[in-house]
Structure 1
Amino acid sequence: MIQYRKILELHDEGISLRGIASSTGNSRQKVTEAIQLAEKKGIVCPLDEEMTDLWIEDFLFPEKSLEASGRQIMDFEYLHKELAKPNVTLSLLHYEYEAKSRADKKIPYSYRSFLRHYSRYAEKYKATLRIRRKPGEIMEVDWAGSTAFIIDRDTGEKIKAYIFVATLPCSQISYAEATLSMDLQSWITVHNNAYEYFGGVTQIVVPDNLKASVTKHTFTELILNPTYREMADYYNTIVMPARVRTPKDKASVEGSVGVISTWIIAALRNLHCFNIDELNEEVLRKLNEFNQRPFTRKKGSRFSAFEEEEKFALSPLPASPYKMSEWKSAKVRPDYHISTESMFYSVPYEYISKQVEIRLSDNLVEIYFNHMRIASHKRLYGRFGQLSTVRDHMPDNHKLFVDQTPEAAIEWAEEIGSSTLVVIRYILDTYKTEKQALQSIFSLKKSERSYTKYEIERACKMVIFITKRPSIKSIQTTLKNNKKNDAEQELKRNTESNKNNYGFTRGAAYYGGKTHDE
C-alpha cells in the first residue's frame, strides 16, 4: 500500500519530491500524481484521523475498487458534472455508459449497481447528491409556523413578526426574513430579497397554496395570483405550487422551517428588538451562522455546498428587482372611464359597460381587456376624484367640446374663410369671459353638421356686411334663411324648367281630319 498520508504530510512540510520519494520508497512520478490529485480534489493538511492511506486511495482513485470486477469503470467526476445539466438523468447516463461498454467490449454494471456506486461516491466525497435534486432547479418557499416579535417602544406591547423561509433543496442553503405581515406586498418583497441573497434565480419556485400565491388550485385547474405570476415572469421562473395537504412536495423547506425555528427564532427568544430592521439584522446574523455550520456526516456546510456545487447553475438576476404591481377589475362607466382608488382613467369609448382588468404599479395604470392592453396612464396621486383622459378615447362629438380653446377656434375659422375669421376674432375680443365666447363659437362649429363650409362663410359675410357687431344668433338665423331661400329658388327653377319642356298637340281638324261632332 502506498503511503498516501505520509506523502501529503511531507509535501505540506516543504520536503522536495526527491526527498518524499526516498522517504516513502515510491517513485517521484507516483508521488507527483498523488500530490496533484489531492490538490485537485481538495485534500489539504492537517488531515483528519479517518483519512487513512486506504481512505485516501479510495478517494483519489475510486475506480480501483471497481477494476477487480472486470467491468467497465465509471467516471464518477464526469457523472457528477453531467447530472448538474438540465434534463440529464442517471438513466440517460447509464444508457450512454452501456453503449460505451459495448464499444469497449466490456461488461457494464446494471442500472441498480450503477446507481448504488454513484450514490456512495457522491455521499462520501461531494457536498450534494444530484439524484433527487439538480443544482439551481428549485426554490421552495413558505412561512414558518412559529413567530418572532418586536417591542413597541411606547407601550411595551409585543408585536408579532412572521418568518419567511426559502430553501434550495440541492445544497440545502436557506434564506430567512422577518416581516410584520403575510400580505401580498410582503410576499413579493421577501422573494426579491431571497433571490438577491442567493445571487440568482432557480428554474422553479414551489410555494404553498397561500392566497398571496394561488387564487385557485384544484385537480383540474390552477390559477395563480396575477401579481405573483407577473413576478415569476419577470424573473423567468415557473411557479409550481405544492399540492393541497401534500407537504412532501416541498419537504426541504418543511425541514428547514423546523431547523430555522430552532436556530433562529428560538435562539432570538430573549433578544429585544424595537423595529423590524433590528430584528432582521439579528435574523441575518443567525442565518449566516446556520448556513455555515458544518455538516455532521460529510465535509463542508450548506454555504460551501452552495458556492461549490449550486450557485453556478442559477440564472442571472435582472438589472433591478421586480417592482410589485396590483391587479384589480372594474366596469367601464358610461363616461368611458374606470374608477380605481377614487381616481378616474379613460379607455376607448367602444369599451363602455365592458369588464376590464387594471394593473396598478407605482407610476403606471394599465387597463386590459381579454389580456390585451387598451389604455395606459400615469398614476394619479393626491386629492380624490382626479381624471386622466386621453383625447383619442373620446367620441367625435366629445372631442369637439374638449378642443375648445381660442387657438383652436381661430384655426377652425381660418379653414372656413376670411369672413368667418373676422366673426370669431370679434367674439373672442368682445365677450366678457373667454368661456362664454368659446361656448358661443362651439355652437357655431356644430353648424358644420348641417351646413357646408361655403354656406357658413357666406352667412358670416352677409352678417358683417349688414352690421359691425355680428352675433352667433344672427349667423345661425342667416344660415336658416339662406337654406330656405336656396330651396325656394331651386324649386322655382325646377318649375320653370318643366313649363318650358311642355309641347302643344294639334287636333285632327288641323290635319284635315274629321272631328267627333261631324
Structure 2
Amino acid sequence: MANRTLNMVKLKRAFQMLSASTPQREICAQLHIGRGVLNRYKKLADEAKVDYGTIGRMSEGQIHSLLQSPPTPKPSEQKNELKELLPDYAEDLARHRHLTIQLLHEEYLKEHPNGYAYTQLKKHIRDYQYANNLSYHNTYISGCEMQIDFAGDKLYVTDRKSQEHIPVVVLCCMLPFSGMGYAKAMYHASMEYFFSGLSDAITYFGGCPEVCKSDNMTQWMKKSDRYEPTFNNAALEWSSYYNTTLEACRVRKPRDKGPVEGIVYKFYQFIYAAIRHEVFHSLDELNSRIFELTDKFNDRPSRTTGKSRRSVFEAEEQGCLGPLPITPFRFRYRKEVKLTGDYHVTVGRLEERHLYSVPYIYVGQRVTVVWDTETVEVYLNTQRIALHKRSFIAGRSTEDAHMPENHLEYQHSKGRNAAFYLEEAEVIGMYTLKAVEKVLASPKYVSHAYRSCEGILSLRKKYGKERLENACKRVSESGTVTYSMLKNILQNNLDKAENRPNVCCIPTNEYVRGAEAFSNI
C-alpha cells in the first residue's frame, strides 16, 4: 500500500487539507487513502522544503514533477547492447515467419554471453515491436479505388469419378469506401484466370474505379519498384480497356492494401466456414455458392450504423464509378504452330492438356491459336478456321467436319454393333445375311467378329452387291464363313463360274460327328 502511486487530484486535495490543519485520520477517511501513503508524500514535501499550501496551489504536473519524478536509472551495458540489435531482430522476425525468438536468443548469447536471459530478451523485443507498430489511417474517396488480393487458403472441387480433391484459388476484390466485396474461385492464378476474374469483379460492381491496387504479383508486374513500378503488357492492355490506373503496393507492405486484407479474413469467416461441409463437383457449382454468400455478406447490415455495404455502395459510390465497356475484357494467349498430321492443336497446362481439331486440309500450314478461359480459336492468316469451347479436362475435342473421310468412317465403325451389320447385310441379300449371321455366331472374340463383318461388307465397294451375294450363296452350305473365303472367291471370279458341288461342306457319315457332338462338353 505504501508504494502505490496516488492520483494527483487526491494528492493535491490532501495537501490543501494539511495546510488547513485537518487531522490525518479525517483526510485518509475522506480521500480513501492509507496513512502510510499520506506520510510518504508528507516526507517528500518536507525534504523538498515546500509549504503544504504552496503544493495545494500547484498544477497536477508541477506536483508530479516535485514529488513523484522517479530517479532516472543509468542504462546498463546489457540494455545499450540490446538497443542496437532490436531493429534488426524485429525486421528478421517480420521477414522470416518461421524464425523464433528462441533461436534469436541462442544467437544473441553466442555474441553476448553476459546478456539477457530468454524471458527478458523476449520482453524487450515485444515492447520494441509494439512501440514501432504504427498504423496510418487512410481516407478513401467514393469510386476512386479497387483493391485486389488472393486468399491465402484454398477451396476444393471434388472429382466425381476419383473423388480427388482439386485445389482452387480464390480472388478477392473490394471497394474500400463502401466495403463492397467480391470473391471468385479459379483453377489457378495464371494471367488468363486473373484478368478474367478482375473483369468479372468490375462487372459485378457495375462500373470502373479510377485506380486498381494490388501487391507486386507476377500476373501484372514486370518489375517492382517503390517509385516507378513497371507493369506487363497484359496489365496495361487491361487497364486501357477499362480506363483505369494501376498501382502497386510497396514490397512487403501488406498494410498498403489493408482493407482487402481485412475482407479476405472476413470471407474466411463468412464463406469458407459456411461451406466447410459442402461438396462441389465443378467450379461453376462452387462459384455459384460463393456468389450467393457474397451477396448475403454485402447485404448484411452493420451493427453500428445499421447500413449494409450494398446500401452505402448504391447510395454514395455506384454513381462515381466510370462506365463499363459493352463486353468484358478477356485476356487471350496466342501461339503460332505448324499443323501436324493429327490435325489437332494443344492448349493448356500439363494437368489440363487438351487437343482441339482443325480441318485436315490445313495440315502442314502455320496457323495461329488464340484462347482464353471460354473459347479456343484457330486462324489461318486472318481467317478463322476452327472454334471450340475451352475444356479444362485432359483429352480431345474433335469435330466430324474436321476429319478426313477414312478417319470418320473408322470412328463410326467403333460405335457399330451386331444389329448394324445384320441390317446392312439384309440390304445386300439373303445369302449375305446368312453369311454375316454365321460370322457373328462363330466362337470368336466379339471385336474379331465385328472386324470380319466389316471386311465382308467392304467387298461390295470393289465388287458390287450382286457379286458379293453370289459369293455368299456359293459358301451358304459351308459350316464356316470367313472374310478370306469370300475375298478369294471374288478375286478368282469363282462367283461367276457354273455351279459345282460344294467341296467345302463336311461329308455326312457315321464317322464324322460335327460340332454339334461337342456342344455339351
- For normalisation by structure 1, the TM-score amounts to 0.39
- For normalisation by structure 2, the TM-score amounts to 0.39
